[in-house]
Amino acid sequence: MASTTGDPVIEALAVLAADAAGCTRCPLAATRTTVVFGEGDPHAGMMVVGEGPGREEDLQGRPFVGRSGQLLDRLLAEEAGLRREQVYIANVVKCRPPGNRDPEPAEIEACGSYLAGQVAQIRPRVVLTLGNFSTRTLLATKEGITKLRGRPHPWGPDGTVVLPTFHPAAALRGGGEVLARMRADFVRAKELLAAAGL
Ligand code: URA
């Protein structure tokens, strides 16, 4: 691809996104409307990683633009003092599972190099994983989110930590208790960024 920005991170992400746009590595390619690669600040200190696009995301080609996304935006602003443009938002699978079913292990595996490439380029200090799928994928564990959430887990060679929290959809379903824990986790994310000088 021709050089357009001079910023190697932006260019590498653009190459990955172009590859993902034509991806047929798994059956989700057949039913998607749009590949939802991810968006945000390519030099963000924090990445937010969800599960996979829902209906709105599939239509718009952008992550977290439906109801879960509205709650995510609120938590980022109210607890971490961040606008969504200041973080980088992506999902474990880039194409919508039909009917919002859970992604299959083979689909997560097929999509894995896109997420790995995004993290490798952005090199965030904090990766906030939303829910079981992104947490289990990044931490390579079968442990559940309730046990793992709210604590930073060292990840990779660069001092990056994974901070798991619940998926916003769980707060929308589960109400006050889940939401209160998520608020505390977003405050923790802000503290971790501050400790890293960000
Ligand atoms: N849920 C997710 O996990 N990701 C999105 O992008 C939207 C909803």
> Tens digits of per-residue pLDDT, 7-50?
999 999 999 999 999 999 999 999 999 999 999 999 999 999 99
Tens-place pLDDT, residues 117-153:
999 999 999 999 999 999 999 999 999 999 999 999 9
Which CATH fold topology does 8-195 show? Uracil-DNA Glycosylase, subunit E (3.40.470)
Q: Does the pLDDT value for residue 4 go beyond 70?
A: no
Q: How far is the CA of 46 from the centre of ligand 1 (A)?
A: 17
Token look-up 């590859």 returns 19
Ligand 1 atom nearest 167 alpha carbon: 3
Cα 30 from Cα 23, distance rounded (Å): 10
Q: What is the pLDDT of residue 2?
A: 52
Cα 198 from Cα 36, distance rounded (Å): 28
Cα 188 from Cα 163, distance rounded (Å): 8
List CB contacts of 40: < 8 A, sequence separation 6 or more. Answer: 47, 84, 85, 86, 87, 88, 89
* Mutational pocket test of ligand 1: of 35, 91, 92, 129, the residue with most ligand atoms within 8 Å of the beta carbon: 91
Q: What is the pLDDT of residue 80?
A: 98
pLDDT band at 157, cuts 50/70/90?
A: confident
Question: What integer best gives the mean pLDDT of the chain?
Answer: 96
* Mutational pocket test of ligand 1: of 28, 37, 57, the residue with most ligand atoms within 8 Å of the beta carbon: 57
Q: How far is the CA of 22 from the centre of ligand 1 (A)?
A: 20
Phi then psi dihedrals of residue 90, to 5 deg: -145, 175
* DSSP state at residue 31: T
Q: How far is the CA of 54 from the centre of ligand 1 (A)?
A: 6
Q: Whose CA is nearest to atom 7 of ligand 1?
A: 64
Where exactly are the structural domains of the chain?
8-195
For residue 144, which amino acid is it?
Answer: G
pTM, whole model, 2 decimals? 0.96
Ligand 1 atom nearest 50 alpha carbon: 3
Measured N-to-C along each axis, helices 67-80 and 176-195 cross at an angle, to the nearest 10 degrees, of 50
Q: How far is the CA of 69 from the centre of ligand 1 (A)?
A: 7
Beta bridge partners of 36: none
Phi then psi dihedrals of residue 88, to 5 deg: -115, 125
Cα 127 from Cα 152, distance rounded (Å): 9
